[in-house]
Amino acid sequence: MESEQPNRQPRVEPVALVDCNNFYCSCERVFNPKLTGKPLIVLSNNDGMPISRSEEAKAVGIDMARPIFELKDIIAKYDVQVFSSNYTLYGDFSRRVMQTIRQFSPKVEEYSIDEAFVGLQGFAHRNLTEYGREMKATIYQWTGIPVSVGIAPTKTMAKIASKIAKKSPKSKGVLDLTNPRFQEIALKRYDVADIWKCGPARSRLLKSHSINTAWDLRNVSLAWVDKKMGVEGTRMVKELRGEPCIPLELMAPKKKRIGCGRSFGRKVESLFEIKECLASHIADAAVRLRRDGQAATGMKIYLQTNPYSNGPQYNKGIGVELPLATDETGELIRWATKAVEQIYKPGIVYKRVHVDFDGLVPNNQIQQSLFIQKDRQKQVQLMAALDQVNRNFGMGRLRYLAEGLEKAWKTRFEYRSPRYTTRWDELLTVRA
């Protein structure tokens, strides 16, 4: 394998990755300081498995990939505090963190609920480590959320820098890797499996060719990596060499697909219950569709059994093309419930129903049809009223009868904390 050493690094804008530490756990702690220093986990939907762990929980051996019932001994032994996920609370904290970050640079890409890339062009005259520390301190002071900051010439290396910063006590949560000498030290000690966009399949491939560290990967030939891993591999190698291939996205792009699918809280067999649940998912996804300013020209419905069960498996999807794009919940429900009849088979225990809206178009320029007369204006007003009521009085306050009243199938959230910041009736009680 020949190696192409880049002989100089191009002049590029430094980019920081600000990453919240154990984000969901940290949110839970802000209003519940008694949790400080204790092992703490937040569970996935349906209280299935941990999706966020405090450092203390990691230390006592709580594993992310294992279901909660397999962890109950550890939980009891170490008095691990357990919470269902409370996305309303986390979403609100995310907004606060992002707003704080925007005080530090006009160039912010909100990459996920707990991470942002920050363009640092024009800050080169400053000590970037100091700037990062100031950012970290301010975010903690204003929101109560601890973060790690990694700074580097490319996003891929900024990710690496923030991960190292999180773990190494010496860095105090901030690491600047813009200096090539430090890059070499860091990449040589960094496992390829921990590189951004290098998942299990790619790391297995790389390791089978004795490419074990990020430094090994950086020095691989572009021809080789293109052949073995295609464009994404090539981008990874270039980014590790300090050549940006993944630009900052300052404007959130329009979504290409908006969907909803959750596991049932218990066994579901009847078409009636599946239709109710599907209608409820449609209503949920349609809110996000309208919020994104889009309408759907098609949808896909999937019906699935539990892959972990030994029973007969059945997974089927069906596509529906709509004659006219729409964002109106009632109409979407009618199309979907009709379609699901075609894939439903009786006598099967189902685990999940899922809907994806696709063929999305801006909802203010829906193509009209000569043959289908609809009062679009009326629909728009109806949906605006629906969304307004639910925003003011809580999601699901106003809903379609098709979604059901009992909702016996609904997702479990046994250990949810109060929605401290978004519900008047769940405000923090200081003294009872």
- Give the interface with DNA as residue ranges (CB under 7 A): 44-46, 48-49, 51, 66-67, 69, 111-115, 159, 195-203, 230-232, 253, 255-263, 267, 281, 284-285, 288, 306, 308-309, 317, 319, 351-352, 354, 411
Nearer to DNA, 159 or 416 (CB): 159
248: phi then psi, degrees, rounded to nearest 5: -65, 135
Task: Considering the complex, state which of residue 126 and residue 345 has its C-beta at the smaller distance from DNA.
Answer: 345
Residue (of 318, 199, 322, 314) closest to 268 by Cα position = 314
Minimum separation from the CB atom of position 345 to DNA (A)? 18
- Nearest distance from C-beta of residue 353 to DNA, angstroms: 10
Q: Measured from the CB of residue 22, what is the shortest distance to DNA in angstroms?
A: 11
Q: How far is the CB of 125 from DNA (least distance, A)?
A: 30
> What kind and span of H or E run contains 119?
strand 115-119
Nearer to DNA, 37 or 317 (CB): 317
Q: Which is nearer to DNA, 35 or 289 (CB)?
A: 289
Nearer to DNA, 126 or 267 (CB): 267
Cα separations in angstroms, 297 against 55, 309, 325, 362, 366: 46, 35, 4, 11, 10
- Looking at residue 414, its amino acid is E
Looking at the Cβ atoms of 231 and 395, the one nearer to DNA is 231
Burial class (CB in 10 A: 0-12, 13-18, 19+), 373: exposed
Report helix angle 222-240 to 200-208, nearest 10. 120
Question: CA-to-CA distance for 237 and 301, rounded, in angstroms?
Answer: 38
**Residue 267: what are its φ and ψ, rounded to 5°?**
-65, 140
- Dist CA 347 CA 120 (whole Å): 59
